[in-house]
Amino acid sequence: MNNSMIIGQYVPGTSLIHRLDPRTKILVIFFFVIIVFFANSVWSYSILTAFAIGTALATRVPLSFIVKGLKPVWFLIVFTFLLHLFVSRQGDILFSVLGFPFYEESLIQGGTLSLRFFLLILFTSLLTLTTSPIEITDAIEYLLHPLKKLRFPVHELALMMSISLRFIPTLMQEAEKISKAQASRGVDFRTGSLKDRMSAVIPLLIPLFVSAFKRAEELAMAMEARGYQGGEGRTKIRALLFRKKDYIVFFFFCLVMAATIGTRV
Amino acid sequence: MKDRIEFEGVTFRYQEDAPPVLKDVDFFIEKGEWVAIIGHNGSGKSTIAKLMNGLLFAENGEVSVDGMSVNPDSVWEIRKKVGMVFQNPDNQFVGTTVRDDIAFGMENQGVPREEMVEKVAGSLRDVQMETYENHEPHRLSGGQKQRVAIAGVLAIAPDYMLLDEATAMLDPKGRQEILKTVRDVQEKSNMSLVTITHDLREIVAADRVIVMNKGEVWFEGTPREVFAHKDSLSSIGLDVPFVAKLTEEMKQYGVSFRKEPLNHEEMVEELWNLHSTK
């Protein structure tokens, strides 16, 4: 089995963006998502686009990975654009093709909406591209901390996420083993109608579920034997640390936000 | 206060109407001692481990650790004193990396972070896994995962370490790794070791052996004394190792040994002795 199994789309690296505190990244993305909806002029869009593309380049993640992340939403972006182009009829007629009129306003609206969409997806995908899932988990646990007062099980949620991350490769290895074992007994996963293939998956899923439950039980016992009794009074070895570069990034991002607001019309 | 684990007349059953798994079991484990508990499947040996750690509680009789009775109130204190390594290397690995997993027990006890970092490094050294600190579990072999589990127990510095069939799911190489690690650990620290096994080859290095059969203590003594009972060992379902079988065969041919050989080296030595005194 692959030794460098990657969960999700994380691309390990050492760029500035990779080394930022995950909380910084999540907060910046959070405010970016909001600020995108404030942009309404050529300048403000230009600033945000430059910022997003600049950040994407700074991650030094190969472009193909970034494009792959955008793939599922390309259709949506294009669809939004076309919908606006054909359905809404505002402003002057710009030109017409084969008797179908294209309106200036709807062209602009479609364009900006698609651009917004593109910026949002691009920027948020940078988080999962440059941050390992466990770092994201830590950051989420920290950022959701205030909800603890409302009895929201923050620690439990984070633990569940980290245990899932821990067991995904294990269960994948196991699924592969079971599918080989079943294939050697004559189960055919690849040919036949969709229905046939669906029912071929059942002898794979059932043993996998049974073993997952068994694992869960043993894991719970091992955790208890090692003194686990909930999040109360627990310390953590993985520390999140705001460093100088995080503050610099925050400062820079504030400038970008200010510039975006300032260039609104 | 007695510094030892004590079982006094312990009876246990998993369900009320089920037959008891342990019947009136008495024994103790002294501080610094290495005790091997051996028995066939269903002899109650794993139940013993769980009773020592407070994962189960005795129905009758008393289990106590350093004079403290094991009950639901004392269980968190007990678990600081008694660390445990289980059979399945995968299902006891909690952390996403080696470092996280070793720290898990300390995190539960609220150990400050700086201290954890230090201790993780220390226990990794003890099990010779220094270069694996940031490895994920799926990149480790079974033996390496078990060594990480041992390191996790060492990090909380318990007085007793239980290994419940910790080598049963490993290949011969992994098993050797673990047995060597355990021996090193035992030499370096003053920790008591309790190894639970069904493999007679693994009791050789222990100070004392408790043989379990059908929920009762069947025999207690040094490994050498245990091997002297070969015939009856196989009658309770334990596989007698080759050296012991050979000894038995040779005795039938009138060869007498000065001491029961426990392994190949001792056997060879005995044979040389025989040869030179002929």
State pTM to two decimals: 0.81
Chain B neighbours among A 199-218 (CB < 8 Å)? 214-215, 218
Average pLDDT on B256-268 reads 81
Same domain, A30 and A122: yes
pLDDT band at B1 (very low <50, low <70, confident <90, very high): low
Average pLDDT on A150-168 reads 90
Domain membership of residue B44 (yes or no) is: yes
Domain membership of residue A256 (yes or no) is: yes
Same domain, A127 and A197: no
Alpha helices in chain A (DSSP H): 16-19, 22-36, 42-58, 63-87, 104-130, 133-143, 154-184, 194-225, 244-262
Site of tokens 């290895």: A173
pLDDT tens by residue, A67-84: 887 887 888 889 888 888
Domain membership of residue A53 (yes or no) is: yes
Same domain, A101 and A203: no
Q: What are phi and psi of A78, to 5 degrees?
A: -65, -40
β-strand partners of A21 = none
- Higher pLDDT among residues A1 and B276, named by residue: B276
Average pLDDT on B215-220 reads 90
Domain membership of residue A90 (yes or no) is: yes
Same domain, A118 and A164: no
Same domain, A220 and A173: yes
Q: How far apart are CA B48 and CA B25, in angstroms?
A: 9
pLDDT band at B264 (very low <50, low <70, confident <90, very high): confident
Mutate to test the interface with B, among A170, A219, A224, A235 (most CBs of B within 10 A): A235
What SS3 string covers B197-208?
Answer: ECCHHHHCCCCE
What b/e string do you get for A222-254 counting C-beta neighbours within 10 Å, with b at 16 or more? Answer: bbbbbbbeebeebbbbbebeeeeebeebbeebe
pLDDT of residue A35: 94
Percent of chain B with pLDDT over 70: 99
Comparing A45-49, A53-57, A59-63, B185-189, the range with the smallest average pLDDT is: B185-189
Domain membership of residue B270 (yes or no) is: no
A213: closest chain B residue by CA: B91
Q: Is A169 on the interface with B (CB under 8 A)?
A: yes
Which DSSP string corresponds to A84-107? HHHH---S-EEEEETTEEEEHHHH
Whole domain around residue B155: which residue ranges? 4-223
Domain membership of residue A176 (yes or no) is: yes
Same domain, A99 and A164: no
Which DSSP string corresponds to A189-235? SSSS-HHHHHHHHHHHHHHHHHHHHHHHHHHHHHHHHTT---STT--
Collect all residues with Cβ–Cβ distance below 8 Å to B163 and sequence separation of at least 6: B84, B85, B150, B178, B182, B193, B194, B195, B196
**Partners of residue A239 in chain B, C-beta under 8 Å:** 113
Return the structure tokens found at A154: 């923050």
**Partners of residue B53 in chain A, C-beta under 8 Å:** 225
- Total domains in chain A come to 2
Whole domain around residue A94: which residue ranges? 16-131+241-262
Average pLDDT on B208-220 reads 91
Collect all residues with Cβ–Cβ distance below 8 Å to B176 and sequence separation of at least 6: none
pLDDT tens by residue, B50-69: 999 999 999 999 999 998 99
Please judge whether A225 and B53 are an interchain contact, meaning their C-beta atoms are less than 8 angstroms apart. Answer: yes
Does the pLDDT at position A244 exceed 90? yes
Q: What are phi and psi of A148, to 5 degrees?
A: -60, -35
Same domain, A23 and A102: yes
Same domain, A29 and A72: yes
Q: Is A229 on the interface with B (CB under 8 A)?
A: yes
HSE (side-chain half, CA atoms, 13 Å) at B190:
4
Task: Find, among B76, B181, B52, B149, the residue nearest to A219 by Cα.
Answer: B149
Domain membership of residue A246 (yes or no) is: yes
Please judge whether A227 and B136 are an interchain contact, meaning their C-beta atoms are less than 8 angstroms apart. Answer: no
Same domain, A36 and A81: yes
Domain membership of residue A177 (yes or no) is: yes
pLDDT band at A2 (very low <50, low <70, confident <90, very high): very low
- Higher pLDDT among residues B53 and B265, named by residue: B53
Domain membership of residue A4 (yes or no) is: no
Does the pLDDT at position B278 exceed 80? no
Angle at A85 between CA A84 and CA A91, to 5 degrees: 95
pLDDT band at A251 (very low <50, low <70, confident <90, very high): very high
Same domain, A23 and A108: yes
- Distances in Å between the Cα of A205 and the Cα atoms of A182, A264, B91, B158 are 11, 55, 19, 40
Same domain, A125 and A26: yes
pLDDT tens by residue, A173-222: 899 999 899 889 888 777 778 888 888 888 889 999 999 999 999 999 99
Collect all residues with Cβ–Cβ distance below 8 Å to A72 and sequence separation of at least 6: none
| Nearest CB neighbour to B96, from listed A165, A226, A236 | A165
Does the pLDDT at position A5 exceed 70? no
Same domain, A75 and A202: no
A with B: how many residue pairs have Cβ under 8 Å apart? 92
Angle at A134 between CA A8 and CA A64, to 5 degrees: 30
CATH of the domain at B196: 3.40.50.300
Average pLDDT on B177-194 reads 86
pLDDT tens by residue, B91-126: 999 998 999 999 999 999 999 999 999 999 999 998
Domain membership of residue A191 (yes or no) is: yes
Domain membership of residue B277 (yes or no) is: no
pLDDT tens by residue, B132-145: 998 988 889 999 99
pLDDT band at B41 (very low <50, low <70, confident <90, very high): confident
Distance of CA B43 to the CA centre of its chain: 15
Q: How far apart are CA A231 and CA B108, in angstroms?
A: 8
What b/e string do you get for A172-191 counting C-beta neighbours within 10 Å, with b at 16 or more? Answer: bebeeebbeebeeeebeeee
- Total domains in chain B come to 1
pLDDT of residue B242: 81
Angle at B100 between CA B98 and CA B105, to 5 degrees: 110
| Nearest CB neighbour to A238, from listed B76, B91, B100 | B100
> Do the strands B60-65 and B68-69 form a parallel or antiparallel pair, or are they unpaired?
antiparallel
Average pLDDT, chain B: 89
**Partners of residue A222 in chain B, C-beta under 8 Å:** 84, 86, 91-92, 94
Residue A263 has a CB neighbour count (10 Å cut-off) of 17
List the strands of the sheet with B68-69, edge to edge. B22-30, B4-12, B60-65, B68-69
Comparing A102-111, B219-228, B257-266, the range with the smallest average pLDDT is: B257-266
Mutate to test the interface with B, among A215, A224, A237 (most CBs of B within 10 A): A237
Domain membership of residue B272 (yes or no) is: no
pLDDT of residue B81: 92
pLDDT of residue B182: 86
Please judge whether A3 and B106 are an interchain contact, meaning their C-beta atoms are less than 8 angstroms apart. Answer: no
- Higher pLDDT among residues B24 and B189, named by residue: B24
ipTM rounded to 2 decimals: 0.84
Does the pLDDT at position B255 exceed 50? yes
Domain membership of residue B262 (yes or no) is: no
